[in-house]
Amino acid sequence: MIDQCSLHVTDLERSRCFYDAALGRLGIPTGRAARSGVHWVGDGVEAFSINEIRSGRNARQVREAHLAFVARSRPAVDAFHAAALRAGGRNDREPGLRPEYHPNYYAALVLDPDGHRIEAVCHTPD
């Protein structure tokens, strides 16, 4: 089980706008700016953050990641996908059932501005 996750991005403001739009459709409050990046808090605990990479000898490189967020309903998955595309994301997989995982696996995947695969998934029957 994941307690928290952090991604490195190349443009903090562009990524903040993308994640605020997409995650807002899943009921996740707007990210909070901090000295080290932007943090999204759920149930009073930081769950997800982004940090801008800086040029220089010790800068970490942005690498593709896959991160899935729980959606409470299939319409929330659809809304996440639409909001992510409007906010500059690129489609990776349209919303739909993925029976290869299990009969009720309903998900959509987008690529964020840095190419990370971001998924919203609902596991309950419609």
Domain span at residue 22? 3-53+61-120
For 68-125, how does the pLDDT look when each residue is reduced to its tens digit (9 = 90+)? Answer: 999 999 999 999 999 999 999 999 999 999 999 999 999 999 999 999 999 999 999 9
CATH number of the domain that residue 98 is part of: 3.10.180.10
The pLDDT score that the predictor gives to residue 121 is 94
17-69 residue pLDDT tens: 999 999 999 988 899 998 879 998 876 656 789 998 876 544 556 677 889 99
Residue 126, domain member (yes or no):
no
Is 30 domain-assigned?
yes
pTM of the complete model beyond 0.85: no
Amino acid 114: pLDDT? 92
Token representation of residue 76: 């929330």
CA distance 2 to 102: 21
DSSP-based helix, strand, coil % in the chain, nearest 5? 20, 35, 40
